[in-house]
């Protein structure tokens, strides 16, 4: 009689295990469906065409403020390369110190720091993987925003 009791016990355990697995699968499916549906809801956001057009107009603003090659040369002649490099967030050590090519990521016009220049620096630094320069540009932008308030 013991064998039938054991067989009955095993049958009960198997049924409970099957129910447990089924319940676990059901809960997992519900959780996954919630995650997928919330992602699907977030995909309803669409492009703001007006903002995109405005950004396209503004993207070249730094070009209006960026010093010309002649202005660069005049500044270097009057102030030297050390002062010139202070207006650039990046230094390329593969170039000699007395070279414009050594200084990368300009952020101003030798008089003022330009927000549009910092935005360009941040974007280009991110594009080329210079995270330290990108972070520095971001910090400077945050500082500029803080002084505006």
> Are residues 105 and 122 in contact, defined by beta-carbon separation less than 8 angstroms?
no
Confidence (pLDDT) at 18:
77
> Is residue 120 within 8 Å of residue 66, measured between CB atoms?
no
Helix axes 131-148, 115-128, angle to 10 degrees: 160
Q: Residue 4 — pLDDT band, cuts 50, 70, 90?
A: low
Check if the beta carbon of residue 90 is closer than 8 Å to that of residue 105: yes
The per-residue pLDDT for range 30-79, each reduced to its tens digit, is 777 766 555 444 455 676 777 667 666 665 565 677 899 999 999 999 99
* Tokens of residue 36, six digits: 């997928």
Note the pLDDT of residue 47.
Answer: 63
């Amino acid at each position: 009689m013991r064998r039938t009791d054991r067989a009955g016990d095993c049958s009960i355990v198997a049924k409970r295990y099957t129910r447990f697995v089924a319940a676990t699968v059901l809960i997992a499916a519900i959780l996954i469906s919630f995650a997928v549906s919330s992602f699907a809801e977030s995909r309803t956001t669409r492009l703001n065409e007006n903002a995109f057009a405005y950004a396209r107009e503004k993207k070249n603003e730094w070009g209006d403020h960026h010093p010309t090659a002649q202005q660069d040369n005049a500044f270097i002649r009057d102030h030297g390369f050390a002062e010139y490099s202070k207006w650039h967030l990046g230094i390329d050590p593969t170039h000699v110190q007395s070279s414009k090519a050594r200084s990368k990521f300009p952020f101003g016009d030798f008089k003022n720091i330009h927000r549009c220049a910092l935005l360009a620096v941040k974007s280009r630094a991110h594009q080329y993987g210079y995270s330290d320069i990108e972070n520095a540009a971001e910090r400077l932008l945050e500082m500029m925003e803080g002084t505006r308030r």
